[in-house]
Amino acid sequence: MRVLVVEDNAFSRKLLVKTLEKAGYQPVVAEDGAQAMVVMQLSDAPSMVLLNWMMPGLSGIEVCEQIRKLDKPVPPYIIMLTAKADRDDVAQGFRMGSDDYIKKPFDSAELIARLNVGKRLVYQQSLMHTLIDALPDPIYVKDSRGLYLGCNDAYAEFAGVEKDHIGQKQATDVLPNGAAQKSHMDDLRALAADEPMEIEEWSVDANGRNSYHYSVRIPLIESSSGLRGLLVLQRNLSQESMSEKLLRYEHKMAVLGGMLCRVSHEMKNILGAMMGFSSLGLEELGPTNEASEYLQDIYNGGESGKKLLDQLLQFSHQESHEMELVSLGNIVESSLELLRMLATESVQFEVKTDPDVAQMYGEKVQLQQMIVNLAINAFYAMGSCLDPCLQIEVTNELDPSKEQLFVIFRMKDNGVGILDEVKEKIFDLHYTTHEEDGSGLGLSIIKTIIDHHQGTIDVESEEGVGTCFTISFPAKV
């Protein structure tokens, strides 16, 4: 490893060079601070510096401070050589950026031992820097003021900047105006929160390409000095593989299940109290009292609420398993009670399942989630219908051209329909027509589940008439 020796005294310089060479290091010599700064500004500058404190011109302290201002991706390890033993002097050296110090006249064994410590630290930093640069996900670091400290190659490409020139820049110097302001505000929010913050948002790269990113903003906190900065990691969700989409979706379902567990206990207590007091009221007033009818409605409403909670909990607690032989008709039947609870009372259900429907390989949980997500979209589309009707059919169909039997699932609604120009986008990740409350994940995850089961989906829709989804899965013959 190359070590820059900055020493104005010729005898001391020669002794240092000899000591380093004997230990296997490669010394690079500078006779004063000015020469040292020329060397340290080179692209292949040494990774370690032995720096004399007392020198004419630039002192060691001044050189140390200027080296730190270079903002190198892997900061060099600096050891100060000094006859100063005063505690305040040593503290000043550390404040200016020194990593270690050794007293003059130095002991060769101690010097090499301290260099070896620095060598290990430089190696670890270099390894971490290489690993971060090799990651395909954009990563950057900012200080507590929101100024860039550095980034990896992926973020430099995303932002269209040179990685080595991003230090001390603001978001407005790097990103387009709108994106810069949004990114800067998100960074400041994360810094103020003092805890990791997750965000999903559309981003525009340096080439004007839109992509949907998931980002995690992590405040960097040291116990002694408090908040130091912010580490930001981004993931391009537009390029997620099918398995990654499923894993992320299942993670969200697990989080939802945990939330439902916490909320359901409190809700059941509330509903139990409603049912208990209304039951007492019914006993007290008797069936002939006019108020008994209202109390009975309250009791029935509480009972329906408890059933819905039980269904939602059962749905969210299911675990995904390996592919197995399943009956899609049975999965539809087991989902109907939940669908009826999620729908408004005005929705009519017409369900036809062929009793001889073939079995198929599938994951029960994912197939039920597909059915529920499709139905929720249908309920939304039928929101303004006078007589909403959801038709579900499960049957077999033979494709003569492929000599293959398929299990067919159809769901048809009489909702508002889908425009032709929108139909091509509905399975895109995060596309949604529910601007005020839609996450856009429903139809995207449906397509992912269908692909996972080697199936296909076809959409027929007419504006003002309704939409029919036809899904085909290979049957087990």
Q: What is the pLDDT of residue 435?
A: 45
Round to whole Å and give the CA distance between 58 and 113: 28
Half-sphere exposure of 57 (CA within 13 A, CB side): 12
> For the chain, how long is the longest CA-to-CA vector?
113
Half-sphere exposure of 208 (CA within 13 A, CB side): 0
Give pLDDT tens digits for 157-205: 888 888 888 888 888 888 877 778 888 888 888 888 777 888 877 777 7
Round to whole Å and give the CA distance between 305 and 264: 10
Query: C-alpha angle 311/312/316, rounded to 5°?
Result: 120
Buried b / exposed e over 224-247, threshold 16 CB at 10 Å, is: eeeeebbbbbbbbbeebeeeebbe
CA 127 from chain center: how many Å? Answer: 24
Sign of the dihedral defined by the CA atoms of residues 88, 94, 99, 105, in that order: negative
Does this model's pTM top 0.85? My answer is no
Q: What is the DSSP string of 3-18?
A: EEEE-S-HHHHHHHHH
**Cα–Cα distances in angstroms (integers) from residue 310 to residues 263, 296, 317, in the given order:** 12, 21, 11
206: nearest Cα among 156, 240, 151? 156
Q: Sorting pLDDT into bands at 50, 70 and 90, what band is 274?
A: confident
Query: C-alpha angle 344/347/353, rounded to 5°?
Result: 125
Highest mean pLDDT among 248-257, 379-388, 402-411: 402-411
